[in-house]
Amino acid sequence: MADMTDEKEYLSREKLTELQKELEELSIVKRREVAEALEQAKSLGDLRENAEYQEARAAQNALEERIAYLANVVKKAVVVDSHHSTKVEIGSTVVIQKNGGDKQKIQIVGSSEADIHANKVSNESPIGLAMMGKQKGDAFTVQTAKGANEYKIIEIE
């Protein structure tokens, strides 16, 4: 597995704050709750056949994995504010038009913040990669499983 410690994690200020709060909550409150559940389960006797203990250990492992993930994301975070630019970059809001069809407004965000339902597209996604560095009026092609789609950049906000 490749070492990803040097990779940056592009986040909005709001998303970084949200992840920092979650990390703090998990590290302080949830760790204590899981430790208490483990102690309670241990007091019930034989650990090999103790379902409560096994569940508490599984919860502890999942919690520690989430804490490690969040700590890594926060450590690598680069805050990207929404901004106006003449070219598409992380933080840009772009109006695109597919093959002369309907216009669509999307925001380019880091991969941790991507949410297709909120029109937030990762800079690492096929469409995000295809748009990076393009300017208003530029056309670009995105390859999908169904074939190539042609887009045009109508506006960069």
3-state secondary structure 2-71: CCCCCCCEEECHHHHHHHHHHHHHHHHHHHHHHHHHHHHHHCCCCHHHCHHHHHHHHHHHHHHHHHHHHH
Question: Could you tell me if 20 and 71 are in contact, meaning their C-beta atoms sit under 8 angstroms apart?
Answer: no
Q: Say if residue 25's pLDDT is above 80.
A: yes
CATH code assigned to 9-79: 1.10.287.180
* Residues carrying CATH 1.10.287.180, the chain: 9-79
Confidence grade of residue 83 (pLDDT, cut at 50, 70, 90): low
Cα Rg, the chain, nearest whole Å: 22
Domain with CATH 3.10.50.30 in the chain: 93-156
Read off the pLDDT band of 122 (50, 70, 90): very high
pLDDT computed for residue 3 by the predictor: 45
CA distance 131 to 96: 10
Q: Judge whether residue 5 has pLDDT over 70.
A: no
* pTM for the full predicted model: 0.69
Residue 119 pLDDT greater than 50, yes or no? yes
Task: Give the pLDDT score at 1.
Answer: 41
Architecture of domain 93-156: Roll (3.10)
